[in-house]
Amino acid sequence: MGIEGIYRISLPVPYAIGNVNVYLIEGETLTLVDTGTKTEKCRDALESELSKLGYAFDDIKTVVITHHHPDHCGMLDYFADDVTIVGHPRNEPWITQEPTFMKAYEGYFQTFARQMGVPVQIAAKGPDVKRTLIHSCHRPLTKEVREGDIIEALPEFVVIETPGHASTHISLYRERDGLLIGGDLLLAHVSSNPLLEPPMYDEIERPKVILQYNESLRRLAEMNISRILTGHGEDVINVKELVKERLGKQRLRAEKVYDMLQVRPMTAFEVCMKLFPTLYLKQGSLTLSETVGQLDYLEYHNRIVIDTSKEQWLFYAK
Ligand SMILES: [Zn+2]
């Protein structure tokens, strides 16, 4: 693909999206950015692609994860004990599947689902994210990175925090040629939905992922990015245009929700069913995340009020 020493490897994952891109980077030592899921099919594919490039699994000395979703970190369990594992500290309870955190997450989800008006029989299935964790890992980071940090094995890149699609999300930026390894922040053909997350550690509120996401996108548009190596599909070249398009589409969807609420106040789940009349049953967490995102956006812009006095919250247009 024309970038010296960086190889895109596409791996099959057991999700609707089908494939994930991971990046092998040659340097003084070998680094992999993102891993694919903890599935044999995915591991076999990685092994075979590595061997085509003249490498074996154990040649990889550093693994960087862009965020905590299983298609990006699940395969960590298959790496040798002495591999350096790099990511944002917020990944930790997800990638170790820390039991106290997971229990709190389940409890939080049930309460939140009731507040959003999700029927009991749907909420009882639990969050989709939890079901995908069977393809994830139980392994801690060995090196935490934050905004501005340099990863030892990748001296040309600087870590930038790009929360939104996940609050754990980082990207790697190389200033000399404007190259960004961007995980799922901005994809060429699909919008990468911010997914609902529970509050973490001592946080009281859940992260408002859509606001973080828009902020991260605006930041990308202001940077001098020549190319984004993405987590799924092709590279993104037209960053500024695409950011404008994605932000515009999101605003339109928020307006649609606002119009619905002007007709009558609704629960988040009612809005969700109207926005996604068939999809809400098949992709509950995704569609609810998207809906709550639009409501968060409208609330932030002071367009709606929320009546939280009853168990099921009602959203009113102002
Ligand atoms: Zn992904």
Which residue shows structure tokens 């934050």?
146
Q: 205-219, 234-248, 281-295: which range is least confident on average? A: 281-295
Alpha-carbon distance values, 117 to 62, 80, 130 (Å): 44, 45, 20
Give the residue among 94, 110, 288 at the shortest CA–CA distance from 209.
288
Phi-psi map region of 184: left, alpha, beta (phi>0 left; psi -120 to 50 alpha):
alpha
> Which pLDDT belongs to residue 15?
86
Distance 189 CA to ligand 1 centre (A): 13
Average pLDDT score over the chain: 94
| pLDDT tens string 124-145 | 877 777 778 899 999 999 999 9
* Residue range 195-222: mean pLDDT, rounded: 91
How many A from CA of 190 to the centre of ligand 1? 11
- Between the CA of 99 and the centroid of ligand 1 the distance, in Å, is 24
| pLDDT higher at 94 or 285 | 94
- For residue 185, the CA-to-ligand 1 centroid distance in Å is 9
Task: Calculate mean pLDDT across residues 198-216.
Answer: 90
Q: How many CB atoms lie within 10 A of CB 63?
A: 24
> Which pair of tokens denotes residue 11?
């791996």
Instruction: Report which residue type is found at 154.
Output: L
Supply the pLDDT for residue 2.
63
Lowest mean pLDDT among 3-7, 123-127, 205-209: 123-127
CA 69 / ligand 1 centre spacing (Å)? 6
Asked if 61 and 30 count as a contact pair (C-beta separation under 8 A), the reply is yes
**Residue 36 CA, ligand 1 centroid: distance in Å:** 9
d(CA 174, CA 15): 30
What's CA 26's distance to the chain center, in Å?
A: 26
How far, in Å, from the CA of 293 to the mean position of ligand 1?
Answer: 19
Q: Where are the domains of the chain?
A: 6-249
Distance 65 CA to ligand 1 centre (A): 11
| Per-residue confidence band for 196, with pLDDT thresholds at 50, 70 and 90 | confident
Q: Could you tell me what percent of the chain has a pLDDT over 90?
A: 83
Weakest-pLDDT range from 102-106, 156-160, 163-167, 281-285? 281-285
Query: From the CB of residue 176, how many other CB atoms can be counted at a distance below 10 Å?
Result: 6
Q: Where are the alpha helices (DSSP H) in the chain?
A: 40-52, 70-73, 92-95, 99-115, 120-123, 128-132, 209-222, 239-263, 268-275, 279-282, 284-300
Task: Write the single-letter amino acid at 259.
Answer: D
> Who has greater pLDDT, 78 or 3?
78
Q: Residue 99: CB partners within 8 Å, gap ≥ 6? A: none
Taking only Cα atoms into account, the Rg of the chain, rounded to an integer number of angstroms, comes to 20
Q: pLDDT tens across 144-194, in order?
A: 999 999 999 999 999 999 999 999 999 999 999 999 999 999 999 888 778
Distance 14 CA to ligand 1 centre (A): 11
CA angle at residue 27 from 25 to 33, to 5 degrees? 25
Average pLDDT over residues 108-127: 88
Provide the pLDDT for residue 284.
83
**How much of the chain is in helix, strand and coil states, percent to nearest 5?**
40, 15, 40
Whether the CB-CB separation of 108 and 198 falls below 8 Å is answered with yes
CB 45: neighbour CB atoms within 10 A? Answer: 19
Q: What is the pLDDT of residues 31-84, one digit of tens each?
A: 999 999 999 999 999 999 999 999 999 999 999 999 999 999 999 999 999 999
What is the fold of 6-249?
Metallo-beta-lactamase; Chain A (3.60.15)
Q: Answer for the pair 116, 268: CB distance below 8 angstroms, yes or no.
A: yes
